[in-house]
Structure 1
């Protein structure tokens, strides 16, 4: 009787369709429930097998190295190489020193007050020889320019103590300093604890020349700009008159001039002739005897369509060398003058294609797990 009522209720097509949808939804719910039960059963069996094989409960594997359940922790399955330990990162320097100009120090991301002029000059002297000790006698001689007072050594020790408090504000009492250390009968700045802008300048300059040699003028130009942006004045300004600092100060000054010329050469290689002309005119006016700068200016003027001015610059430079030094220009300058006169095609600018960046590896989208 009940079957007759169900059959009679399904006589209409709409009712039969609704009944079929309800049956499909019920079957889907049953399949999902069965799938969940199967997953739980398999996980329990695997955990039980691991317990029997190792004789101990299975411990979770460390991230990045899945542990084999058939081998105890700390042992390695045969024919499986040991994982390489992660390389230890060098600790970040505790102090950042800026010596390409007036001496400055940044501790914990904040600039600090370095105190009196002689105390600042002491830090500038030590910054010129990071990692190498400077004897107290030399420091006294340089700070007081050969005429130290009777209490000069005591004043030097007081300056050192003050700088230590500034450079290591959180150092516990009676613990050895790690930035400004005592070494024999002198003091030194520990290289591992100090980051000096002098090192960053030379590093960026070397990178810029390397990029220029590899045919990447745009990358070289960025590196040259980053190197020159570190300068704020004469190197080791507070101790610039010191005989102890003078050789390294002269070295850095010469390197700065070479970097400026290298930047202008990168501008020419990148096709920025007018910008190079403006920079080189000021540079040659300040340093009229630097032949490479004069050569770059002549080439920049020629590429900017100013041939007469290019020849005038080269001839003026030739006369100055003859009158002041009694020498002729180097062969490269003489050759450039002849090439400009004959409109040599080798002087024309030809754009170089920028080096292609390696394509990022294609990652396949993850495949969805079946129900």
Structure 2
């Protein structure tokens, strides 16, 4: 009920497929063990336009439901049956058969814990209740008047439980852990003043006063523009408290502090970098990744790999998604970057040592330091066996790196970002990140520069969006330049970037430097592949193994292998064979912004000195002389 409607017995789904049949079964289920009158059924199925055969049709539906329910009975799932009573039908179900009932019981248990003064137990129980929700009530069923009223009631009940749980966690001083969740709730419910007030409180307590004030300003504008309302008293008081740094807004000392967690530390570690303030164009991928990471009933940890070319925003995506789901992992959130700033792979043994120290491993510091890689892997897997921990591995270079850092507990999850698609069998889902479209880039520009500044130069704004080629790192670097120079028209930056690409692509800020990102990518490849990057970037039009072999003293077979290596790390895309050529002769191409970057990067140390043939022959005919 708490999401798409389904009947699952002993792991087998028995949900009817016919829409009216599903609607009737949902109605009877929500009124389980109570008689539903024929009038209510007809009103639900047809509202004020029932057919003349409505009663007969309902009887036919009841017959079909009984056949389905007999399958349930045969699986020893307890007393189940559809009974005809005077004037209607009664669906008999065993206790706890419905997720709705389990949710209600858990919510009552949570409130009972709170009444008994056990705040920590109340939070834990309320979390268990909310974990039963999988989306909107009966989201895949047409809801008539009866089901609609039930759905509204349940969703309000859920919202009340959620707000109570958040209030209790704020009392326990867990404001850092709540910021990601509250940001998502506040964004999804921009006029819900309760969520906005709680988000301001969490941000303020986390030392992010300016962001708390931005929440108030944004909410005030939405309330005035959309509803013609002023902010409520609670929201206004929160605003004043933030402005005045009122100590009444500080965390309240409580005797209900959480006990040491199952992982053995007083405060579970959270090593995630700060959440990104804005992530445009990735809603579907964030939702899909979050769903996989938090799915229940697994026998092994969920491992999601987000991959894509340099500059596409993989790290921002990983950090933002991790903050969104972190509340589901109470035993901590660990983070490691697997490439150094110079582009060298990080030793997994060093990462494991950091993780074990962060957890306060029972092994002494000396034992961890002197342990081999295999020994640290075993310690790490033992430590994660019964825990629910989120592990974020940013910029993983190889399957070997990933394999050493996988936890063993099925309650854990791993979110990986990588420049290449990883093929380890442990990977649950791979998410490919591609450049943004022009609309998303313009939305990002509006959020950073403001609608008025873009409206003054619409053509220049579109030109800048096109120059970025949809790469978030490039457009953010350009917007950073414009923010530093508010007196610059957008046209001036576009003209400067067109004449001098390095002005935007070599930003000088590590997070915004596309050239540095491309150079790090090249360091993960073979030295020979770097030469192919440089030479292929000089070829006009489509790139083929034959053309690359014509520019370097290598055969077509070797050239194709090196080109495929560039595809693996996202520097090249592959379209298929040239027209009229053998089907195995693929055509490769650069994204325009990556082609520019490839012509500007320096050779990594150790690149072989392979002689180059004149590129003019490639541009003229595509055939070497």
For the aligned pair, the TM-score class normalised by the smaller chain equals: 0.5 to 0.7
Deviation for aligned residue 1:303: 0.6
**What secondary structure is seen at the aligned counterpart in 2 of 1:296?**
helix
Give me the whole-angstrom Cα distance separating, in 1, the residues matched to 2:55 and 2:160: 40
Partner residue in 2 for 1:308:
210
Residue 119 to residue 344, structure 1, CA distance change in 2 (3 Å): same
Deviation for aligned residue 1:187: 0.7
Deviation for aligned residue 1:148: 4.4
Deviates more, 1:150-159 or 1:107-116: 107-116
Quick one: higher RCO (CA 8 Å, sep 6+), 1 or 2? 1
2:164 matches 1:262: yes
**For 1:185, which of 87, 109, 127 is the aligned residue?**
87
Deviations 1:297-330 (CA, angstroms, capped at 9, x unpaired): 1110001101121122123323433443343333
Does structure 1 retain, via aligned residues, the 8 Å contact 2:120–2:258?
no
2:120 matches 1:218: yes
Give me the whole-angstrom Cα distance separating, in 2, the residues matched to 1:211 and 1:317: 34
**What secondary structure is seen at the aligned counterpart in 2 of 1:275?**
helix
2:18 matches 1:116: yes
**For 1:195, which of 97, 101, 110 is the aligned residue?**
97
Alignment of 1:333-352 (within 5 A): 333-350=235-252, 352=254
Partner residue in 2 for 1:229:
131
Structure 1: gaps of 5 or more residues? 1-98, 358-371
**What secondary structure is seen at the aligned counterpart in 1 of 2:207?**
coil
Partner residue in 1 for 2:189:
287
Residue 237 to residue 160, structure 1, CA distance change in 2 (3 Å): farther
Deviation for aligned residue 1:109: 7.0
**What secondary structure is seen at the aligned counterpart in 2 of 1:181?**
strand
Does structure 1 retain, via aligned residues, the 8 Å contact 2:2–2:132?
yes
Partner residue in 1 for 2:231:
329
Deviations 1:47-85 (CA, angstroms, capped at 9, x unpaired): xxxxxxxxxxxxxxxxxxxxxxxxxxxxxxxxxxxxxxx
Give me the whole-angstrom Cα distance separating, in 2, the residues matched to 1:285 and 1:220: 27
Give me the whole-angstrom Cα distance separating, in 1, the residues matched to 2:252 and 2:72: 58
Give me the whole-angstrom Cα distance separating, in 2, the residues matched to 1:164 and 1:282: 42
Deviation for aligned residue 1:121: 1.4
Residue 209 to residue 309, structure 1, CA distance change in 2 (3 Å): farther
Give me the whole-angstrom Cα distance separating, in 1, the residues matched to 2:142 and 2:136: 7
Give me the whole-angstrom Cα distance separating, in 2, the residues matched to 1:353 and 1:221: 15
Give me the whole-angstrom Cα distance separating, in 1, the residues matched to 2:41 and 2:258: 52
Does structure 2 retain, via aligned residues, the 8 Å contact 1:264–1:279?
no
Partner residue in 1 for 2:28:
126
**For 1:159, which of 45, 61, 66 is the aligned residue?**
61
Give me the whole-angstrom Cα distance separating, in 2, the residues matched to 1:248 and 1:164: 24
Residue 240 to residue 182, structure 1, CA distance change in 2 (3 Å): same
**What secondary structure is seen at the aligned counterpart in 2 of 1:198?**
helix
Give me the whole-angstrom Cα distance separating, in 1, the residues matched to 2:172 and 2:95: 39
Residue 194 to residue 347, structure 1, CA distance change in 2 (3 Å): closer
Does structure 2 retain, via aligned residues, the 8 Å contact 1:234–1:240?
no
Does structure 2 retain, via aligned residues, the 8 Å contact 1:100–1:234?
yes
Runs of 4+ residues deviating >6 angstroms: none
| Bigger Rg over Cα | 1
Deviation for aligned residue 1:183: 1.9
Deviation for aligned residue 1:222: 1.7
**What secondary structure is seen at the aligned counterpart in 1 of 2:7?**
strand
Does structure 2 retain, via aligned residues, the 8 Å contact 1:128–1:236?
no
**What secondary structure is seen at the aligned counterpart in 2 of 1:103?**
coil
Using the size of structure 2 for normalisation, the TM-score is 0.37
